Structure formats: C-alpha cells, structure tokens
Amino acid sequence: MPQKPQLVVDRDSIGFSQEFGSGTFIGTKPQESLMLQNKGLENLLITSVSMAGDSAFTINGPLKSELKGNERTYIQIIFAPTAEKNYSATITIVSNAENTPQKLVPVTGRGLKAGDAGQ
C-alpha cells in the first residue's frame, strides 16, 4: 500500500440506466452512489465535492471528508429529469490524493416520458 493518500472510486462514470439502452421516467428520482476509498496509508482529505452541469442532478455527501487507509465513504447522486432529453453533468472531487488531486466523474441520464396512459 502506498504511503501517500490515493483516491479510488468504484466507477469512472454514472449512466442512470443508459448502459441498458434505457432512461429514467420524468417525475421519478432514482439514486446512485459513488464509493470513494483511500488506498494509501496517510489520511485522505476530501476538500470539496461539486457538481457542474444539468440541474436535474444533485449530490449529497460525502458522509466523511477524512478517510484513513482503506476507509471508504459515499456520494449520493439523485437524478430528477423534467423533460424528454439527454442530461449530463460532472462531479469534481478535490482532495490531497497523490494519484488524482482532482477526480472528474461524468454523470449522464436520459429523461423518458411515461406511456400515454392517463393522458
């Protein structure tokens, strides 16, 4: 295990069902989570986590801003589409990690209309 803090995430992008060729129904608010882990011995200090892009995406977290070696925390991502279109945003994680002091995680989603039922 390296001495210096190392930020590792459990995936490099979040697609909200698009990986299955699908999308998210307008009016729903599915959630995903992104795991952050320190793979170094020294403490990882997460300075900031921000989201830029479509406002249909919001984030909560991380639950902890200081991670000891092998410790993890999570960021919750909520997607609430309001129109039938593609959405995109980027999460930026700033920390004292030696490997990625600034980690960018792209987030995408597609808003879908529910069927014609009830309209």
pLDDT at residue number 114: 82
Distance CA 75, CA 87 (A): 19
Give the start-to-end residue ranges of the domains of the chain: 7-106
Distance CA 90, CA 69 (A): 26
Domain 7-106: top CATH class: mainly beta
Distance CA 50, CA 61 (A): 10
What secondary structure does DSSP assign to 49-116, as a single string? EEEEE-TTEEEE--S-SEE-TT-EEEEEEEE---SSSEEEEEEEEEE--SS-SEEEEEEEEEEE---S
How many residues make up the chain in this entry? 119
**What sign results for the dihedral spanned by CA atoms 19, 15, 26, 36?**
positive
**What sign results for the dihedral spanned by CA atoms 57, 30, 22, 106?**
positive
Q: For every one of its 119 residues, what pLDDT tens digit does the chain have, with 9 covering 90 and above?
A: 999 999 999 999 999 987 677 899 999 999 999 999 999 999 999 999 999 999 999 999 999 999 999 999 999 999 999 999 999 999 999 999 999 999 999 999 999 998 644 33
Angle at 71 between CA 40 and CA 88, to 5 degrees: 95
pLDDT at residue number 118: 39
pLDDT at residue number 92: 98
Residue 65, token pair as written in the block? 């801003």
